[in-house]
Each structure stands twice: as C-alpha cells, then as structure tokens.
C-alpha cells in the first residue's frame, strides 16, 4: 500500500456521480464506499444495484442521487441484470446499433451477495461476462433492521440471532465469500475497506480494467447496526484490518498478495470492544474469536507466500 | 416469396424471433418450452441469427437477464413454461413496471404437485396480474404470426410493455403443421428496428427502478395500468396492419359460427380448433351453437367481448385452470364483464383439460349439452370439473 494514501486526498477527483443529499444514516460506511467506488469509475459506467440500504437511500421517487445510468430491479439478481446489459451491449455493438462501451458494475449488500443472490452471482461469474461485482459488506441485512446474514461474524448480536440468556448471537463463522469468487477462476478478486480509500479506488480501477468478471469485496462499517458512535466509522474499519479480522488482499489471476501488512496484529479485543453488537461476549468467546482470526490470517499469509 | 414449410410450433416461434432479428435471448430449459430455445441456440450457433444467447442458471436469472438487456435497448426474447414461469414470478412484474418491451413465449404447463409436464393454464392464471399484454394462439401459423405481432405491439412508442404469447404445451408446442413464412424484407417492413426512448446510456443517464413512498406509488401504478388499457388500440392497429401485409386477420375476440347462435362456447388457446369441429357437428344436427375464442387475455377486450356474446342466450366457458376454492378464473372474469349489461347470456362454467387431459370433439359436444341441461335446471354458479374419473 502506498504511503501517500493518507495524505493525498487532493489527487482524487471532486466530481461525484453518487451525489450528496441522499438519505444514508450519518457515519454510513456503505455510502462512503459507494462514493469512492464511483469516483474511481468516472462517468462512463452503468450501475446495477440490488435492493438494500444503498438503493433505498439514493432513489426515492421523484429524486435520485445518481448522475450515471443506474438500474435496480430486485434483491437477488444484480449480477444477472448486469449480464443482460453486457449481452445487450455485445450484440448492439456488433450490429452497429449505438450503445457505448460503458463499464458495467453491479453492487449488492452482503445479504444480496452471500445469501439470496449467490446462485445468480455464481452463474454470472461462470459465464464469464465482462463486469465488476462489488459486495458492500456491512455484515447483516441492515435495510430491513439488522437481521443476520451468512456474513455476520461469530458472536455478533442481530435481530434474528440475538444474544440472550441462553444465546451469544451468531453461532457460525463468516462465510468466506472472496474464496468462493476465487473458486470461479475469475481474473480478479480483491478485498477493500473505505478506511483505506486509495487502496479501494486503485482496486476498483484494476478490477474494471480486466476483461471478464471481477469481484471486489468491500468491508463497510455500519454504526447503526453495529451500535457504535457515528464518528467511529473510519477508525473501526482500520481496526478491522489492523487486528486481522478483515485483511486487505488481492487475487490476481489466482495469485494471492497482501495489500497491507500490519507490522504486528493488534488483539481482536481492540476491534470488538467499541461495538454494541459484541458487548455480551465472555472472555472465553473473545478468546475463541482471537484463535480463529489468528489461524485464518496465518492461512491467508500462506496463500500469499509469506 | 412466401414459403410454405412444415414446422413444429416451437420452431415457428423461434423462426419469428429470428426474423425479428432479436439481439438477446436468455433462457433456461423446461419442458415443453425447450425446443424453442434449443432452436434459437442452434440458429445462433449456425450464424443464422446474430444474437447473444445467454444460457443462464435459472428462470429467475433468465428474466433478470432480459430486464438488463431490454433496459439497455436490445430487442429481447425469452421463453418458458409452468414451473419456470413461477420461479421468475417477481421479475415478471418488474418488466412491465419498468416498461420493458420483452417478448416471452409461454408453453402453458400445469403446476406441481403432482409434477406434470403437460399442458393447462395454471401458469397463465398465476401471472394474470403481472401487467403484461397476453395473447393466445391456436396453431403453428398463429404462433409465428402473433410472435411477430407481439414485438410490434410491445415496442410501439405508445405501449412499451412486455408481451406474452401463450401456446399450449405439447397440444400445440410439439405439433408439426404447415406454416407460411414471409420474406425477410416483408418482415423488416412490418417490424422495423425500434428505439426505446429511455435506455441505460452514460450520455443520457436515467435512474430506473427507484422506490416510491405511499405518496407516489398509486400514481405510478395507475400510469402503468392506463398504458396497458390503451395498448388495445395499438393491438387493433397492429393486427390490421398484419392483415393488410400478410393476408391473415386477427382480432382480440374471434368468433366461429356465432351468427344466429343461441348457445356459445368460449375457449382460449389450441383447444379452440377441436371446439370448432364440435360446433360443426352440432350445427349439422341443427343446433344453434357457436364458438367464441378469446385471443387477447390482457388487456381484457371488454367491448369486443360484449359485442361477440351479448345476443346469445347461454355462454358456456371452459377454464383450463382451477382457482382452488373459487370459481374458474376465466369464467369469473367473463361473468364480471357481463354483470351490468341488460341484455346478456346466462353463464355456465366448466373446468377441464387439466395437466394435459384431452377434450375430444365428442367431449366438447357433451360439455355443451351438459351446459344446456344445467342451465335448464337453473344450476348457475356451480363449479364443475369436466371428465373426472370416479
Ligand atoms: C426476495 C426478497 N426477499 C426479501 C426482501 C427484503 N429485503 C430487502 S433489503 C434486505 C436486506 C438487505 O441486506 P444487504 O444485502 O446486506 O444490504 P444492506 O441493506 O445491509 O446494505 C431484505 C431482507 C426483498 N426485498 N426481496
Ligand atoms: Mg448488509
């Protein structure tokens, strides 16, 4: 990761195609991530979005926050709608009917990506369409009120798997969605976080430059759902990376490489502690999480040849 | 020069899609529709159709792919049946709500369980309210003709609504019949390339598929409903143009030997041809019987329908679907359409032809006689399934 990352905001365009004035909660990490993605993409792009927070906060009739062509149809099919657009583009370009070569980008939340739309995403990857899929992972179904998804981390309390007298919340480990994308043998897969904006934007540019499908998995902090103060979004994203809970890496044509290697991993407690969704965790459970994170991180390092 | 060929109805539909020069077809195999998309895939593979065939992983994705394709401005075709239509159900509504002129062939099939690959209209009735224009065809020629018309109707700038062409599974989809095929130039003249006024284009960005609060939802939906109702005028115009150019006339409600008929039978789809034979036989025996075939299911052609039936004494309606615990779905619409008229026939409904069960010429004649008996006994409002084994 470049050292310039923290200081060079003046190198980024001021022009926004996902414009301010939308209805996201204050401190929303997803909206910040979308803003960065769109700055990296520029104007020659068609955006497909799944149902979820980002769709609802940006397009209440008769308003729109979008200055690029944008389409939402359903919850589980953003990848497939994108494949339809891509197929149309191919046919119309071949036939000489006007349609620009605009980049095609589909976006969906973790619910749309990990759960209800996985089959559609897998199909689109397998068929090899030329598009970028961005997963906006805030680790639950936030739009409908903080229900669990298969991206929700072990131990987190959500409204459908709440902590209670005999439950500690989520009892399963977060699904490894980037690995599932990698298993499709697509040219480019990467993880990113809004707290590392330059890394995120570079990855977007790289992802849309490849021919064929690419997958960008963005970790997006949700103050409302995670029960943290709204001014902690950036900090918590950094803590997720620095503790090894959410490592930043790329998989370029099957080759893993770490984008940022913290000199030493911080204890996961630093990351868990500020969050209301983990408040009920016992030291034993925190320990269990620590072990798992350390193990997964070591595994990833292995894949990166470290 | 027009050519006369022997074609399976499925191939006739694929041929219409080819001559319409579709840009994209996304589909998933399901009996009895599969022959249509296999044929399209082959035409693409042989370079006889310049289109992108998207072999998706489900029907939900088939329709979703078509949403994207049509929103990008491509002429888009899809075919399905029964369970496939059910699986894509929510996306079917999106196509009409977003005014995407997709054309879909539906090879009507019964719904599980028990699993049945054979035909009836259960799948049609489940998508009745999706806001699509819906046309029924009776033979291979009509399958070809009305698929061409469907593109023309759907893409008319005053319509811009998706259109379904219903062909009965197996009874029609798999039947080989003579078909007259026009020249490509004639088709091009009838069906020029179209341009949707709003497509996904960075030079002219639009937001499609926003969400609406209670303050605007009603208005958007009324706009959509008005467009569907108004499409009837365009449908009439397209049918007329088709008649002038190709010499075959279609209308929303078609009649057979209804002149001076006291008693009318009403059917939709391919059973109509058998029903015609039944009517011929009864006419020869001196019975004043005629047939009404509902070609256009949505928008419902109220005026044309009332004109066709208002002078009859009795109207016998065949439904090929059950509305469990309720009246036959077509029959109940027919009754509602007639209710407030001063001069109107009595209505007797039958349900039959479920899950591929045939109704023969004799069967239709029996049905008509049973209907007359029931009317004489005043047994209106009964839901009776025809030809049930004891
Ligand atoms: C078929 C279907 N099932 C359920 C819903 C309800 N629903 C809308 S958005 C959503 C959750 C979205 O979660 P996610 O994809 O993680 O996005 P987020 O809102 O967290 O950004 C759900 C369950 C729906 N719209 N469609
Ligand atoms: Mg989410």
B75 & B181 share domain: yes
To test the ligand 1 pocket, which listed residue (A79, A106, A111) has its Cβ within 8 A of the most ligand atoms? A111
Residue of A63, A86, A91 to mutate when probing chain B, most B C-beta within 10 A: A91
Contact B208 A60 (CB under 8 A): no
Q: Is the domain of B286 the same as that of B227?
A: no
* Residue of chain B whose alpha carbon sits nearest to that of A124: B56
Residues B259 and B241 in one domain: no
Centre of ligand 1 to C-alpha A139, Å, is 12
Ligand nearest to the CA of A30: 1
Judging contacts by C-beta atoms under 8 Å, the chain B residues touching residue A119 are 57-58, 61
Last residue of one domain, picked from the residues B216, B246, B276: B246
For ligand 1, pick from A52, A159, A160 the residue to mutate: most ligand atoms within 8 Å of CB.
A52
Q: Does B193 lie in the same domain as B112?
A: yes
Distance A151 CA to ligand 1 centre (A): 13
Q: How far is B214 from chain A (nearest CA, A)?
A: 10
Q: How big is chain A, counted in residues?
A: 306
The rounded Cα B42 to chain-centroid distance in angstroms is 25
B204 and B58 in a common domain: yes
Judge if B146 and B294 occupy the same domain.
no
Residue B185, classed as helix, strand or coil, is helix
- B388 has pLDDT over 60: yes
A4, pLDDT greater than 80: no
Tell me the pLDDT of chain B averaged across its residues.
97
- Among the candidates B205, B222, B246, a domain finishes at B246
Q: What is the mean pLDDT of chain A?
A: 95
> Counting one residue from A and one from B, how many pairs have CB atoms under 8 Å apart?
168
Task: Provide the terminal-to-terminal Cα distance of chain A, rounded to the nearest Å.
Answer: 16
Q: Compute the distance from residue A292 Cα to the ligand 2 centre, in Å.
A: 23
The mean pLDDT value for A7-15 works out to: 72
- Quick check: pTM over 0.90? yes
Contact A124, A84 (CB under 8 A): no
Cβ within 8 Å, pair A85-B72: yes
Q: Which residue of A has its CA nearest to B71?
A: A85
**CATH number of the CATH domain containing B181:** 3.40.50.970
Confirm whether B156 is domain-assigned. Answer: yes
Q: CATH no. for residue B341?
A: 3.40.50.920
Is 70 exceeded by the pLDDT of residue B337?
A: yes
* Overall residue count recorded for chain B in this entry: 390
Ligand 1 atom closest to residue A51's alpha carbon, by position in its atom list: 9
B336 in a structural domain: yes
Residues of chain A found within 8 Å of residue B66, distances taken between Cβ atoms? 84
Residues B261 and B242 in one domain: no
Is there a domain that residue B135 lies in? yes
Q: Which residues are near ligand 1 (CB < 6 Å)?
A: A 30, 51-54, 75, 108-112, 136, 138, 141-144, 149
Quick one: pLDDT band at residue B4, thresholds 50, 70, 90? very high
Q: Could you tell me if residue B190 is inside a domain?
A: yes
Judge whether B319 and B313 are in contact, CB under 8 Å: no
| Å between A119 CA and nearest CA of chain B | 8
pLDDT of the residue at B314: 98
- Give the residue from B200, B220, B246 where a domain finishes: B246
Chain A nearest-CA distance from B254, in A, is 37
Smallest CA-to-CA distance from B123 within B133, B132, B131, B112 is with B112
Ordered domains of chain A (ranges, CATH) = 29-303 (3.40.50.970)
pLDDT tens digits, one per residue of A256-272: 999 999 999 999 999 99
Atom of ligand 1 nearest to the CA of A138: 20
For B90, name the nearest residue in chain A, comparing CA atoms only. Answer: A74
Shared domain for B210 and B91, answered yes or no, is yes
CA distances from B64 to A111, A185, B54, B194, B214 (A): 18, 24, 11, 21, 26
Shared-domain flag, residues B374 and B313: yes
- pLDDT digit string (tens) for A33-84? 999 999 999 999 999 999 999 999 999 999 999 999 999 999 999 999 999 9
Q: B225 lies in a domain?
A: yes
For tokens 């949700």, what's the residue?
A222
Domain residues for the domain of B78 are: 3-246
- My answer on whether B158 and B235 are in the same domain is yes
Calculate how far, in angstroms, residue A150's C-alpha sits from the geometric centre of ligand 1: 13
SS3 B105: strand
**A59 with B56: Cβ contact below 8 A:** no
> Is B325 within a domain?
yes
Average pLDDT score over residue span B89-116: 98
- Of A77, A104, A118, A119, which to mutate for an interface test with B (greatest number of B Cβ within 10 Å)? A77
Q: Residues whose CB is under 5 A from ligand 2 (ion)?
A: A 109-110, 138, 142
Round to whole Å and give the CA distance between A40 and A15. 10
| Same domain membership, residue B300 and residue B219 | no
CA of A304 to the centre of ligand 1 (A): 34
| B154 SS3 class | helix
Alpha carbon distance A273, A240 (integer Å): 12
- Running DSSP on this structure, what letter comes out for residue B355? G
Cβ pair B320, B367 in contact under 8 A: no
* Number of neighbouring beta carbons within 10 Å of residue B193: 11
Domain total of chain B: 2
For the record, the structure tokens of B324 come out as 């469990």
ipTM above 0.90, yes or no: yes
Q: Does any domain span residue B73?
A: yes
Q: What's the pLDDT score for residue A89?
A: 95
Helical packing angle, B34-45 and B9-19, nearest 10°? 40
Angle at B34 between CA B161 and CA A82, to 5 degrees: 50
Q: From ligand 2's centre to the CA of A242, what distance in Å?
A: 22
pLDDT band per the 50, 70, 90 thresholds, residue A13: confident
Cβ within 8 Å, pair B65-A83: yes
Q: Does residue B357 share a domain with residue B268?
A: yes
pLDDT of A97 reads 78
Name the residue with the closest Cα to ligand 1, atom 2. Answer: A75
Report the nearest-CA residue for atom 1 of ligand 1. A75
Contacts of A305 (CB under 8 A, 6+ apart): A256
Q: From chain B, pick out residues whose CB is under 8 angstroms from the CB of A94.
A: 50
Cα dihedral sign for A279, A282, A283, A286? Answer: negative
Q: Residues B14-47: pLDDT tens digits?
A: 999 999 999 999 999 999 999 999 999 999 999 9
Q: Do B73 and A56 touch (CB under 8 A)?
A: no
Is the residue at B390 inside a domain? Answer: no
Least CA distance to A64: which residue of chain B?
A: B207
pLDDT over 80 at A9, yes or no: no
CA gap B335, A88 in Å, rounded: 44
Confidence of residue A99 (pLDDT cuts 50, 70, 90): low
């Amino acid at each position: 990761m470049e050292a310039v990352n923290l200081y060079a905001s003046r190198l980024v365009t001021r022009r926004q195609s996902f414009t301010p004035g939308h209805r996201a909660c204050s401190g929303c990490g997803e909206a910040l991530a979308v803003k960065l993605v769109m700055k990296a993409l520029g104007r020659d792009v068609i955006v497909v979005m799944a149902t979820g927070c980002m769709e609802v906060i940006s397009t209440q009739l008769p308003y729109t926050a979008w200055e690029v062509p944008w389409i939402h149809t359903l919850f589980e099919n953003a990848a497939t709608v994108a494949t339809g657009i891509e197929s149309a583009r191919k046919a119309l370009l071949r036939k000489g009917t006007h349609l620009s070569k605009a980049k095609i980008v589909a976006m969906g939340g973790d619910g749309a990506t990990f759960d209800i739309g996985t089959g559609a995403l897998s199909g689109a990857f397998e068929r090899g369409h030329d598009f970028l899929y961005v997963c906006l992972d805030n680790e639950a179904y936030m739009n409908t009120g903080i229900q669990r998804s298969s991206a929700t981390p072990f131990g987190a309390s959500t409204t459908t798997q709440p902590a209670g007298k005999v439950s500690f919340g989520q009892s399963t480990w977060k699904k490894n969605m980037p690995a599932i994308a990698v298993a499709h043998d697509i040219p480019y897969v990467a993880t990113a976080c809004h707290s590392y904006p330059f890394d995120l934007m570079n990855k977007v540019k790289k992802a849309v430059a490849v021919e064929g499908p690419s997958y960008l998995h963005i970790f997006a902090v949700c103050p409302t759902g995670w029960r943290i103060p709204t001014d902690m979004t950036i900090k918590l994203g950094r803590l997720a990376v620095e503790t090894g809970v959410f490592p930043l890496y790329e998989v370029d044509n099957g080759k893993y490489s770490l984008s940022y290697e913290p000199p030493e991993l911080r204890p996961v407690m630093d990351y868990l502690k500020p969050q209301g969704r983990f408040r009920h965790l016992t030291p034993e459970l925190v320990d269990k999480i620590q072990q798992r994170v350390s193990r997964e991180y070591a595994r990833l390092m292995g894949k990166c040849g470290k | 020069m027009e050519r006369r060929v022997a074609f399976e109805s499925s191939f006739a539909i694929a041929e219409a899609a080819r001559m319409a020069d579709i840009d994209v077809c996304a589909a998933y195999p399901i009996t009895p529709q599969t022959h249509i998309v296999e044929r399209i895939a082959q035409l693409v593979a042989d370079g006889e159709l310049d289109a992108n065939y998207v072999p998706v992983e489900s029907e939900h994705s088939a329709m979703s792919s078509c949403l994207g394709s049509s929103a990008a401005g491509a002429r888009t075709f899809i075919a399905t049946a029964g369970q496939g239509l059910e699986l894509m159900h929510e996306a079917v509504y999106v196509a009409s709500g977003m005014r995407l002129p997709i054309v879909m062939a539906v090879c009507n099939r019964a719904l599980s369980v028990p699993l049945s690959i054979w035909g009836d209209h259960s799948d049609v009735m489940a998508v009745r309210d999706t806001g699509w224009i819906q046309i029924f065809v009776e033979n291979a020629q009509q399958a070809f003709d009305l698929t061409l018309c469907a593109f023309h109707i759907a893409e008319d700038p005053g319509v811009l609504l998706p259109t379904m062409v219903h062909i009965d599974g197996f009874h029609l989809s798999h039947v080989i019949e003579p078909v007259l095929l026009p020249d490509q130039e004639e088709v091009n003249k009838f069906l020029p390339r179209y341009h949707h006024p709003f497509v996904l284009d960075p030079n002219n960005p639009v937001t499609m598929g926003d969400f609406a609060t209670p303050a605007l939802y009603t208005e958007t939906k009324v706009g959509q409903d008005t467009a569907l109702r108004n499409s009837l005028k365009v449908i009439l115009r397209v049918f007329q143009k088709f008649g002038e150019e190709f010499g075959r006339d279609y209308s929303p409600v078609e009649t057979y030997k209804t002149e001076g008929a006291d008693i009318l039978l009403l059917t939709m789809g391919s059973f109509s041809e058998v029903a015609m034979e039944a009517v011929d036989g009864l006419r020869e025996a001196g019975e004043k019987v005629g047939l009404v075939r509902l070609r256009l299911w949505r928008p419902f052609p109220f005026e044309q329908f009332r004109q066709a039936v208002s002078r009859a004494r009795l109207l016998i309606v065949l439904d090929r679907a059950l509305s469990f615990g309720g009246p036959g779905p077509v029959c109940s619409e027919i009754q509602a359409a007639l209710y407030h008229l001063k001069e109107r026939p009595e209505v007797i409904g039958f349900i039959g032809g479920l899950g591929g069960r045939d109704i023969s010429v004799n069967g239709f004649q029996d049905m008509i006689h049973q209907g007359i008996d029931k009317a004489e006994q005043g047994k209106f409002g009964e839901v009776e399934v025809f030809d049930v084994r004891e």
